[in-house]
């Protein structure tokens, strides 16, 4: 009897452990391919919270920060180790497409993952510390033109990445002939780049509105240009565009997700459907307005096609300004 009871307790314990393991396996996870504080981190955390608030996921989204290589470490992790994970999505953006376009993820291509959907577009900004003597984009670009080595611009993407490209596009539009002389310093995420700006290690920051918003509100930085075709509405209306300052530069960073390449069709379709439901919700519209996100509503095959076009376009821009041959 004692042996039988012990076996019963053991069996119950094993069943309990099995239930815990199954629950752990079902926990939705989002990888943010950068340190906390940047745009990818924002995308994972805000979308995860909203999905749970809307009842689209049953458990709290686990957010894992996996920085390195401008998103390359996370991409390799998903492709090589987690290719069949049905519970995993990864934050992506124009920065991801840029690295893929330039062959910066060695041995990896966009077709090795499945592109789930977008949650909006985040216009680029160029900012300086709040106490900087620079107040306009032309002032910054004039200083770069006169003495390129005197200005370091920090961003959250790798060299040649989307943050880097944005400031090069602005420099090119302003008539700086050899944009390769622009001194860009890469950090693992926009939050770390702004930290270096506040420490005085660099003179300017190139990133996105969602990354800059909190630092503007705290009074730490001032945005000298937003790379949008016209001024945004609401609380962002005070940010001058590059275009109105005579610099015809536009840079919109789309935000969305990819999933493991061997994710089941059922899981992929559900993630795509859930992202579509999220995007259509009043809650997400409020998030977009509060964070300056512009409309971009694509899921599934439509998003896959969009990313392919984005990669192709960035390859052309990168060749034009000498990043790739």
Give 58-113 pLDDT, tens digit per residue: 999 999 999 999 899 999 999 999 999 999 999 999 989 999 999 999 999 999 99
Q: What pLDDT shows up at residue 103?
A: 92
Same domain for 117 and 264, yes or no, is yes
CATH at residue 300: 3.40.190.150
The model's pTM:
0.75
Give the residue among 154, 129, 124, 151 at the shortest CA–CA distance from 140: 151
Same domain for 247 and 297, yes or no, is no
pLDDT band for 5, please (50, 70, 90 cuts).
very low
The 10s digit of each residue's pLDDT in 260-276 is 999 999 999 999 999 99
Rounded to an integer, what distance in angstroms lies between the CA atom of residue 164 and that of residue 143?
A: 18
Rg over CA atoms, the chain: 22
Same domain for 145 and 232, yes or no, is yes
Q: Can you give the length of the chain in residues?
A: 325
Q: What pLDDT shows up at residue 162?
A: 87
Evaluate if residue 241 carries a pLDDT over 50. yes
Q: What is the mean pLDDT of the chain?
A: 90
8-12, 30-34, 153-157, 259-263: which range is least confident on average? Answer: 8-12
Same domain for 133 and 220, yes or no, is yes
CATH at residue 154: 3.40.190.10
Same domain for 117 and 156, yes or no, is no
The number of folded domains in the chain is 2
Residues whose CB is less than 8 angstroms from the CB of residue 7 and which lie 6 or more positions away in sequence, other chains included? none
Same domain for 156 and 101, yes or no, is no
Domain stops at, among 232, 251, 270: 251
Same domain for 108 and 143, yes or no, is no
The 10s digit of each residue's pLDDT in 182-191 is 999 999 888 8
Alpha-carbon distances, residue 175 vs 37, 94, 179 (angstroms):
33, 25, 9
pLDDT band for 177, please (50, 70, 90 cuts).
confident
Q: What pLDDT shows up at residue 7?
A: 47
Rounded to an integer, what distance in angstroms lies between the CA atom of residue 28 and that of residue 62?
A: 6
Same domain for 178 and 267, yes or no, is no
Same domain for 202 and 275, yes or no, is no
* 263 phi, psi to nearest 5 deg: -55, 140
> Residue 5: inside a domain, yes or no?
no
Specify the pairing of strand 29-32 against strand 62-65.
Answer: parallel
Q: What percent of the chain has pLDDT over 70?
A: 92
Domain stops at, among 211, 230, 251: 251
Rounded to an integer, what distance in angstroms lies between the CA atom of residue 87 and that of residue 11?
A: 28
Same domain for 155 and 267, yes or no, is no
Same domain for 265 and 247, yes or no, is no
Q: What pLDDT shows up at residue 220?
A: 95
Evaluate if residue 19 carries a pLDDT over 70. no
Q: What pLDDT shows up at residue 318?
A: 85
**Token pair belonging to 102:** 């330039």
* 141 phi, psi to nearest 5 deg: -70, -35
Mean pLDDT for the stretch of residues 114-135: 96
Same domain for 265 and 238, yes or no, is no
Q: What pLDDT shows up at residue 298?
A: 96
Domain stops at, among 212, 234, 251: 251
Which structural domain, as residue segments, surrounds residue 74?
A: 27-121+253-320
Rounded to an integer, what distance in angstroms lies between the CA atom of residue 138 and that of residue 142?
A: 6
């Amino acid at each position: 009897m004692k042996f039988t009871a012990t076996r019963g307790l053991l069996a119950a314990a094993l069943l309990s452990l099995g239930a815990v393991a199954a629950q752990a396996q079902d926990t939705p996870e989002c990888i943010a391919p950068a340190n906390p504080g940047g745009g990818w981190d924002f995308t994972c955390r805000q979308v995860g919270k909203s999905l749970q608030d809307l009842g689209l996921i049953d458990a709290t989204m686990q957010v894992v920060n996996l920085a390195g290589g401008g998103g390359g470490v996370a991409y390799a992790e998903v492709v090589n180790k987690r290719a069949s994970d049905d519970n995993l999505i990864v934050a992506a953006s124009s920065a991801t497409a840029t690295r893929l376009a330039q062959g910066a993820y060695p041995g990896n291509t966009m077709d090795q993952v499945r592109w789930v959907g977008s949650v909006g577009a985040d216009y680029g900004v160029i900012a300086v510390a709040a106490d900087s003597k620079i107040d306009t984009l032309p002032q910054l670009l004039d200083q770069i033109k006169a003495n390129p080595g005197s200005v370091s611009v920090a961003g959250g993407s790798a060299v040649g990445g989307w943050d880097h490209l944005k400031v090069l596009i602005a420099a090119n539009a302003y008539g700086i002939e050899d944009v390769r002389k622009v001194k860009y310093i890469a950090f693992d995420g926009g939050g770390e780049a702004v930290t270096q700006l506040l420490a005085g290690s660099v003179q300017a920051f190139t990133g996105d509105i969602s990354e800059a918003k909190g630092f503007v509100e705290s009074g730490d930085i001032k945005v000298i240009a937003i790379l949008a075709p016209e001024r945004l509405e609401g609380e962002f209306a005070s940010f001058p565009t590059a275009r109105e300052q005579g610099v015809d530069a536009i840079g919109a960073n789309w935000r969305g997700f990819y999933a493991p390449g061997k994710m089941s069709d059922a899981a992929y379709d559900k993630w795509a459907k859930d992202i579509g439901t999220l995007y259509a919700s009043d809650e997400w519209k409020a998030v977009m307005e509060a964070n300056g996100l512009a409309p971009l509503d694509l899921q599934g095959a439509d998003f896959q096609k969009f990313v392919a076009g984005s990669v192709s376009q960035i390859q052309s821009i990168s060749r034009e300004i000498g990043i790739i041959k």
